[in-house]
Structure 1
Amino acid sequence: MVNKTAHNKTKRRDIMSLIMLLGIVGLLNFIGFFVFKRFDLTSEKRYTLAESTRKLLNEVEDVVFLKIYLHGNLNPSFTRLKNETKELLDVFRSHANGNIEYEFINVNENANKEEITNLERQLYEKGIVPEQVIEANNEKTSQSLIWPGALVTYKNREVAWQIYKRQVGIDEEVSINNSVQELEYGLTNIIRKIQRQKLQEVSFIEGHGESDTLKQFDFMHSLAEYYTVNRIEINGKLSALKDASAIVITKPDSAFTDKDKFIIDQYVMNGGKVLWLVDPVMMDMDTFRLKGFTLGFSRGLNIEDMLFKYGVRVNPVLIQDLQCGRVPVNIGFKKGQPNFQLFPWLYTALVLPDQSHPIVKNLDLIKMDYVSTIDTVKAEGIKKTVLLRSSKYTKVQPTPCRISLGMVQNKPREEQFRNSYQTLAVLLEGEFNSVVEYRLPAVLLNDPKFKYLDHGKPTKMIVVADGDIASNEIQFKTGSVLPLGYDKYTQQTFANKNFLLNCVNYLLDDEGLLQLRT
Structure 2
Amino acid sequence: MKNTILRLILLIAVLAGINWLASVLFFRWDLTEDKRYSISDATKQLLNDLDQDITVNVYLQGDFPAGFERLESATRETLDEFKTYANGHLTVNYSDPTQAVNEEQRQKQFLNLVDRGLTPTNVFANEDGKRTEKIIFPGVIVQADTLAVPVQLLKGNRASSPEEQLNQSYEGVEFEIASAIRLLANRERKKVGLVVSHTKVPPVRLSDLIATIQQNYDVFLDMNNPESYDGLDALLVLKPDSAFSEDEKFKLDQYVVGGGRAIFFVDGSRVDSVSLDGNYAQPIDLNLSDLFFRWGARVNTNLVKDLNCAEILLNVGNMGDQPEIKPLPWRFFPVLNNFGQHPISRNINAVYTRFLSSIDTVGGAAEIVKTPLLMTSPYTQLVNSPALIGYNEARKEPVAADYRGGVKIAGVLLEGSFSSLFKNRILPDDPRAVKFKESGNTGKVIICSDGDIVVNDYDYKRNTPLPLGYDRVSKQTFGNKDFVMHALDYMTDANGLISARTKQVSIRALDKIQIQEKRKFWQTVNLIIPLAFIGVFGGLHYYLRRRKYA
Aligned match for 1:473, one of 434, 452, 457: 457
In structure 2, relative to structure 1, the CA distance for the partners of 1:373 and 1:234 (3 Å cut) is farther
Q: Which residue of 2 aligns with 1:14?
A: none
1:208 aligns with 2:198: yes
Q: Which residue of 2 aligns with 1:233?
A: 223
| Alpha carbons 1:315, 1:374 under 8 Å: kept | yes
Q: Which amino acid aligns with 1:251?
A: K
The offset of 1:160, in angstroms, is: 2.5
* Structure 1: gaps (5+ residues): 1-30, 106-122, 134-146
Alpha-carbon distance between aligned partners in 2 of 1:268 and 1:302, rounded to the nearest angstrom: 17
Q: Which amino acid aligns with 2:217?
A: Y
Q: Which residue of 1 aligns with 2:537?
A: none
| Alpha carbons 1:505, 1:513 under 8 Å: kept | yes
Q: Which residue of 2 aligns with 1:399?
A: 385
SS where residue 194 of structure 1 aligns?
helix
In structure 2, relative to structure 1, the CA distance for the partners of 1:57 and 1:201 (3 Å cut) is closer
Q: Which residue of 2 aligns with 1:152?
A: 144
SS where residue 439 of structure 2 aligns?
coil
Aligned match for 2:285, one of 286, 300, 306: 300
Q: Which residue of 2 aligns with 1:504?
A: 488
SS where residue 442 of structure 1 aligns?
coil
Deviations 1:341-380 (A, max 9, x none): 1211110112222442222223342222110111222212
Q: Which residue of 2 aligns with 1:408?
A: 394
Q: CA RMSD in A?
A: 4.2
Q: Which residue of 2 aligns with 1:370?
A: 355
Correspondences of 1:441-480 after superposition (within 5 Å): 441-444=427-430, 450-480=434-464
Aligned match for 2:44, one of 52, 55, 68: 55
Deviations 1:424-453 (A, max 9, x none): 221111111212223334312686xx2101
Q: Which amino acid aligns with 1:208?
A: H
Q: Which amino acid aligns with 1:216?
A: L
Q: Which residue of 2 aligns with 1:484?
A: 468
Normalised TM-score (structure 2): 0.67
Q: Which residue of 2 aligns with 1:425?
A: 411
SS where residue 438 of structure 2 aligns?
coil
Q: Which residue of 2 aligns with 1:120?
A: none
Deviations 1:53-83 (A, max 9, x none): 6513551343424386989xx9999xx9999
Alpha-carbon distance between aligned partners in 2 of 1:398 and 1:99, rounded to the nearest angstrom: 58
Q: Which residue of 2 aligns with 1:97?
A: 87
Correspondences of 1:23-422 after superposition (within 5 Å): 48=37, 50-52=39-41, 54-56=43-45, 58-66=47-55, 91-101=81-91, 128=116, 149=141, 151-153=143-145, 159-163=147-151, 184-209=174-199, 211-233=201-223, 235=225, 237-239=226-228, 241-285=229-273, 287=274, 291-380=276-365, 381-422=367-408
In structure 2, relative to structure 1, the CA distance for the partners of 1:480 and 1:453 (3 Å cut) is same
In structure 2, relative to structure 1, the CA distance for the partners of 1:185 and 1:427 (3 Å cut) is closer
Deviations 1:255-285 (A, max 9, x none): 1122111111111111111101100211214
Alpha-carbon distance between aligned partners in 2 of 1:130 and 1:311, rounded to the nearest angstrom: 42
Alpha-carbon distance between aligned partners in 1 of 2:376 and 2:330, rounded to the nearest angstrom: 15
| Alpha carbons 2:175, 2:500 under 8 Å: kept | no
SS where residue 440 of structure 1 aligns?
coil
Deviations 1:97-155 (A, max 9, x none): 322136799xxxxxxxxxxxxxxxxx99xx9559999xxxxxxxxxxxxx9855414xx
| Alpha carbons 2:271, 2:355 under 8 Å: kept | no
The offset of 1:219, in angstroms, is: 2.7
The offset of 1:50, in angstroms, is: 3.1
| Alpha carbons 2:39, 2:81 under 8 Å: kept | no
Normalised TM-score (structure 1): 0.71
SS where residue 251 of structure 2 aligns?
helix
Alpha-carbon distance between aligned partners in 1 of 2:47 and 2:154, rounded to the nearest angstrom: 32
Q: Which residue of 2 aligns with 1:18?
A: none
- Which shifted more, 181-190 or 202-211? 181-190
| Alpha carbons 1:200, 1:227 under 8 Å: kept | yes
In structure 2, relative to structure 1, the CA distance for the partners of 1:294 and 1:67 (3 Å cut) is closer
- Which shifted more, 470-479 or 436-445? 436-445
Alpha-carbon distance between aligned partners in 2 of 1:474 and 1:44, rounded to the nearest angstrom: 43
Sequence identity percentage: 27
- Which shifted more, 398-407 or 53-62? 53-62
The offset of 1:96, in angstroms, is: 1.5
In structure 2, relative to structure 1, the CA distance for the partners of 1:402 and 1:40 (3 Å cut) is farther
